[in-house]
């Protein structure tokens, strides 16, 4: 079974645009859980333009589903997550000014750094996932970091899916098989949507979790949050 973790960064972005607490990020997270969402993801960036560090602190005691916090492992980020202890931290390599995550880790170059970070997070009982594209030559080194899981960076899948679904998914299938062989769990995220999710989940083995934000929140503008969460859940059965 593949869990749906809803990334609520876009709800925080909307809230921040007015400087009030509307829409209420905590209420949205609780409603997503009530509608069947099996996890909540936030990605507090250094400029805190979406979810803030405070959101991470406020959400943790409220949530009953899996809490996944994504981010580049700066000292501030690590201090935050080691204090709050979400169920999972997903490490991403993007620079502070990035609009959104745009690459997987180069585990050849950053393997030693990642290993240290993974050890620190494990010391606080936090499961770790690292964001990876489908370059299989980096996977052995990914496993050596001690990370529990990888999150497959699915932007290229989403771009190629409309013209050639099989060609789009093939590298991800290979990557999942390789990661599984190395003892890594598999998550996925980025540009997954109600159009491309079912095929991905069907074709990629060992998929434990998908984390979806932008498309889901955009579709919720038309369908409502409850219908949209349930629509996404149906793609995963």
For the chain, the residue count is 237
**Catalytic residue status for 70:** yes
Which of 121, 108, 150, 152 lies closest to 134, judged by CA? 152
Supply the minimum distance, in Å, between the C-beta of residue 216 and ligand PXP.
Answer: 7
- Calculated CA dihedral for residues 89, 40, 105, 139, nearest 10 degrees: 80
Of 131, 157, 161, 200, the residue at the interface with ligand PXP (CB under 6 A) is 131
What sign results for the dihedral spanned by CA atoms 12, 15, 16, 20? negative
Site for ligand PXP in 197-226 (CB under 6 A): 211-215
Residue placing its CB nearer to ligand PXP in the complex, 155 or 203: 155
Cα(25)–Cα(35) distance, integer angstroms: 15
**Catalytic residue status for 43:** yes
- Which one is catalytic: 43, 50, 110, 209? 43
Phi, psi (deg, nearest 5) at residue 68: -120, 125
Residue placing its CB nearer to ligand PXP in the complex, 20 or 235: 235
Supply the minimum distance, in Å, between the C-beta of residue 39 and ligand PXP.
Answer: 12
State whether residue 223 is helix, strand or coil. Answer: helix
Phi, psi (deg, nearest 5) at residue 84: -85, -30
Supply the minimum distance, in Å, between the C-beta of residue 213 and ligand PXP.
Answer: 3
Of 105, 190, 201, 209, the residue at the interface with ligand PXP (CB under 6 A) is 190
Cα(196)–Cα(178) distance, integer angstroms: 22
List the x/- string, 20-59, binding to ligand PXP by CB under 6 A: -----------------------x----------------
- Which one is catalytic: 33, 110, 151, 190? 190
CB-based contacts of 71: which residues, under 8 Å, 6+ apart? 43, 44, 45, 77, 81, 89, 90, 91, 92
**Catalytic residue status for 190:** yes
User: How many residues lie near ligand PXP (CB under 6 A)?
Assistant: 19
Q: Does 9 bind ligand PXP (CB under 6 A)?
A: yes
- List, in sequence order, every residue forming a beta bridge with 3; answer none if it has no partner: 209
List the x/- string, 54-83, binding to ligand PXP by CB under 6 A: ----------------x-------------
Interface residue list for ligand PXP (CB under 6 A): 7, 9, 43, 70, 90, 92, 100-101, 131, 151, 189-192, 211-215
């Amino acid at each position: 079974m593949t869990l749906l973790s809803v990334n609520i960064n876009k709800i925080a972005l909307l809230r921040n645009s007015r400087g009030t607490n509307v829409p209420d990020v905590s209420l949205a997270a609780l409603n997503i859980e009530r509608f069947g969402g099996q996890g909540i993801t936030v990605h507090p960036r250094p400029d805190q333009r979406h979810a803030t560090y405070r959101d991470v602190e406020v959400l943790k005691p409220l949530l009953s589903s899996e809490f996944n916090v994504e981010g580049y492992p700066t000292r501030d980020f690590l201090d935050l997550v080691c204090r709050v202890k979400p169920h999972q931290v997903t490490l991403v390599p993007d620079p502070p000014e990035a609009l959104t995550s745009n690459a997987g880790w180069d585990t050849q170059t950053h393997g030693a750094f990642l290993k240290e970070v993974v050890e620190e997070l494990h010391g606080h009982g936090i499961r770790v996932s690292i964001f990876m594209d489908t370059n299989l030559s980096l996977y052995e080194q990914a496993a050596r970091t001690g990370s529990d899981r990888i999150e497959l960076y699915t932007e290229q899948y989403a771009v190629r899916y409309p013209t050639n679904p099989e060609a789009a998914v093939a590298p991800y299938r290979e990557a999942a098989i390789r990661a599984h062989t190395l003892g890594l769990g598999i998550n996925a995220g980025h540009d997954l949507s109600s159009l491309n999710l079912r095929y991905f989940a069907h074709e990629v083995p060992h998929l434990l979790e998908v984390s979806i934000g932008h498309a889901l929140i955009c579709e919720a503008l038309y369908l409502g949050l409850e219908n949209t969460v349930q629509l996404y859940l149906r793609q995963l059965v």
